[in-house]
Amino acid sequence: MTAARITVNGTETPLAPAAPHTTVLDFLRDRGLTGTKEGCAEGECGACSVLVARPGVDKPTDWVAVNACLVPAAALDGQEVVTSEGLATIGEPGTAPELHPVQQEMAVRGGSQCGYCTPGFVCSMAAEYYRSDRCEHAETEAGAADGTDGADHEHGPNGFDLHALSGNLCRCTGYRPIRDAAFAVGEPTDEDPLAQRREQAPPAPAATEYTQDESVFVRKNTLAETLQVLRERPDAVVVAGSTDWGVEVNIRSRRASCVVGLDRLPELRELRVESDHIELGAALTLTEIERRLDGEVPLLAELFPQFASRLIRNGATLGGNLGTGSPIGDSPPVLLALEASLVLADADGEREVPLADYFTGYRQSVRRPGELIRAVRIPRPLSPVTGFHKIAKRRFDDISSVAVAFALDIEDGIVRKARIGLGGVAATPIRALETEAALEGKPWSAETVDAAARVLRGAGTPMSDHRASAIYRSAMLGQSLLKLHAQTTEAVSS
């Protein structure tokens, strides 16, 4: 096993003497790459954004923007990272670097003022610049780059999706010139080295056992080896995207004597669409699932844009979101409505547990010590009438006050099956069983829905906190069913 190293802007850089909990952000800044900034240390602002070479969807490699403040540097052993400094082309000694096209557009269109957030914006923008299928969407209704024409102001005439920047905050420039820069970038040239790099596979995952200061980061090559480590070290913390654990390390100064990386295990990265079910590997990122499913599961497609930000979705996984057991995670309500089950694995084998039976209490589950989530299984056929309503203070990139997911089978105007998943109204995500019973066998009518909405308002044990009052949460539960009926009545009757 070789010494841990990360390729940064084309140069191999030893990880030592960084501690295993050291983030990529601190690792880079300690080596003089100070374009990468710390703004929030929670993955909320994007000032720390960097590019990482990851397995591609349409090409062998995708350049993916991630929050450097959350990812342990040891998790990128053997991987390639590009920072804002690495985007510019360095010329002969004594000459100024040639700006990257994204940097150039940000400069000439006034996209930077104090400059603190600019390197993060540039890296997130560069990831979208290199998205392999971006130019296929060039025919858009956005019209002019200034957004004055057309109805779609979230996609530029160059196919640029502004949601690529949803995890980046700017407090002084204003977003208009940043949007103008995003909508002005062209296509990568054939000579662009980062565009060329997409044609080769990313580095293979490195088996890592990095020890410093009496703590260790471990990544094994196989699931079997990993499960054996978890049997021997039941105190180990498992991480994939580290979007939750990274916050604990930064904000609460949590430390672990052993951290086990799961994000590159091939057994946790499979996606299979079978005749009777869809299986999603627990270590696939939400972005990978979104792009590879491409709308195959409409309820998931509705969830993804509302799940945190693109930067977070580039690292976050379903396994991590379910493994934390949070009652306000966005994916559990959707997966409950889809009647998903979890494949749990330990050194002795596997078992399948319905998600409805998985949660046992606040951040508690049936998962045993040494056991991890290998995959999520969604049965087919899928219910045709679905909806996901996330009630939060912001439209995007916010924690939900209430999350409600619906999956209904309606035939000849009668509700044959109803599945409703709820988040934020109890100590665990729950199914609204009484409301489901109030709908099934009844006509999909205003009278039925009004009666069922009254039942839904009493679901769970909502509490009052800084996000919403208990009364508001109950009201939103009932309102969500009324909203679904209003949205779907025309489609169901047609």
**Pair of tokens at residue 476:** 């939103």
Distance, CA of 106 to CA of 356 (rounded, Å): 48
Annotated domain spans of the chain: 1-205, 220-382, 385-493
Task: Provide the 3-class DSSP secondary structure of residue 257.
Answer: coil
The CATH T-level fold of domain 220-382 is: 3.30.465
8 A C-beta contact, residue 356 and residue 419? no
Q: Do 1-205 and 385-493 fold alike per CATH?
A: no
1-205: CATH, from 3.40.50.450, 3.10.20.30, 3.30.530.50, 3.40.190.10: 3.10.20.30
For position 150, what pLDDT does the model report? 42
Tens-place pLDDT, residues 196-221: 999 999 999 989 999 998 999 999 99
8 A C-beta contact, residue 386 and residue 302? yes
CB atoms within 10 A of CB 109: 18
H or E stretch covering 410: strand 402-411
Distance, CA of 351 to CA of 370 (rounded, Å): 13
The CATH T-level fold of domain 385-493 is: Enolase-like; domain 1 (3.30.390)
**Pair of tokens at residue 465:** 């906190």
DSSP string, 102-157: HHHHHHHTT--SS-SSHHHHHHHHHHHHT-TTGGGG---TT-STTS-SSS--SB-T
Q: What is the pLDDT along the chain (494 residues), one digit of tens a residue?
A: 568 999 999 999 999 999 999 999 999 999 999 999 999 999 999 999 999 999 999 999 999 999 999 999 999 999 999 999 999 876 566 667 789 999 999 999 999 999 999 999 999 999 999 999 887 554 444 444 444 444 468 899 999 999 999 999 998 988 999 999 999 999 999 999 999 999 999 999 989 999 998 999 999 999 999 999 999 999 999 999 999 999 999 999 999 999 999 999 999 999 999 999 999 999 999 999 999 999 999 999 999 999 999 999 999 999 999 999 999 999 999 999 999 999 999 999 999 999 999 999 999 999 999 999 999 999 999 999 999 999 998 888 889 999 999 999 999 999 999 999 999 999 999 999 999 999 999 999 999 999 999 999 999 999 999 889 999 999 999 999 999 999 998 655 55
8 A C-beta contact, residue 77 and residue 14? no
Q: Which residues face 103 on adjacent strands? A: none
pTM of the model: 0.94
